[in-house]
């Protein structure tokens, strides 16, 4: 149980285009979903916290107009990187939280490369 | 702001050796999770500890939560090459927004055959 999927697993795009990443909890309903960014050889950096049906809460320094988050249901959250630039290239990981002990279950990640 | 200090940052050991990874904080956590991450993949939850002083075992891995719920350790006995990976500790807060996790910087473990 507690499986989270992410799609796509990798994407290459041109500078200036927008990219959408989907995060789904497959066998449970997630009260909250999170989006992280991870640079090589570093730990996870929380970008935003998302609750179904409400606006996402962004961490300091994360541009909400650039990283659009939509949490349409208890099993789906999407992250759209708008007008992507090479500095947005990174490994993006989502997680879904259950209510028990605040455990988070992570998706497999999406490698974004902006040319 | 809660901080979680994880050490060591890098660890390279021979197969069969024992090792311990530490996570320390001045903050109290309602629970603490340990994850393992392979390159190019998302972290996989290994264990959650909730009660102060709690000890959990997962085969050759032993996890301990400090009595005051401010620190935790991961001990691996007779490490195997398959244990290689990035180990992350993450603490859940006790107040509003407690769904958020505070992550340590990770311990990159390499077990040499």
Within 13 Å, how many C-alpha atoms sit on residue A18's CB side?
A: 10
Q: Do B42 and A97 touch (CB under 8 A)?
A: no
Given a contact cutoff of 8 angstroms between Cβ atoms, the answer to whether A85 and A107 are in contact is: no
Q: Do B92 and A102 touch (CB under 8 A)?
A: yes
pLDDT digits (tens, 9 = 90+) for A72-110: 888 999 999 999 999 999 999 999 987 665 788 999 999
Chain B: residue nearest A31 by CA? B99
Given a contact cutoff of 8 angstroms between Cβ atoms, the answer to whether B112 and B51 are in contact is: no
pLDDT digits (tens, 9 = 90+) for B1-47: 678 999 999 999 999 999 999 999 999 999 999 999 998 999 999 99
Peptide bond into B8 cis (omega under 30): yes
Q: Do B99 and A105 touch (CB under 8 A)?
A: no
C-alpha distances (whole Å) from A43 to each of A20, A99, B54, B87 are 23, 24, 25, 10
């Amino acid at each position: 149980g507690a499986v989270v999927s992410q799609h796509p697993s990798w994407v290459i795009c041109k500078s200036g285009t927008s990219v959408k990443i989907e995060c789904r909890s497959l066998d449970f309903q997630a009260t909250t979903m999170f989006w992280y960014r991870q640079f090589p050889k570093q730990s996870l950096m929380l970008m935003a916290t998302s609750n179904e049906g409400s606006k996402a809460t962004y961490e300091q320094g994360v541009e909400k107009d650039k990283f659009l988050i939509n949490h349409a249901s208890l099993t789906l959250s999407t992250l759209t990187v708008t007008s992507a630039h090479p500095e947005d290239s990174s490994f993006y990981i989502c997680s879904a939280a259950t209510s028990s002990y605040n455990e988070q279950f992570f998706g497999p990640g999406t490698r974004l490369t902006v040319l | 702001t809660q901080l979680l200090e994880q050490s060591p940052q890098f660890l390279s050991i021979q197969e069969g050796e024992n090792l311990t990874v530490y996570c320390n904080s001045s903050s109290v956590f309602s629970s603490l999770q340990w994850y393992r991450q392979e390159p190019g993949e998302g972290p996989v939850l290994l264990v959650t500890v909730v009660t102060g002083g709690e000890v959990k075992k997962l085969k050759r891995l032993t996890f301990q939560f400090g009595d005051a719920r401010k620190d935790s350790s991961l001990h691996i006995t007779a490490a195997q090459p398959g244990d290689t990976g990035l180990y992350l500790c993450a603490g859940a807060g006790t107040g509003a927004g407690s769904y958020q996790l505070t992550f340590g910087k990770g311990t990159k473990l390499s077990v040499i055959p």
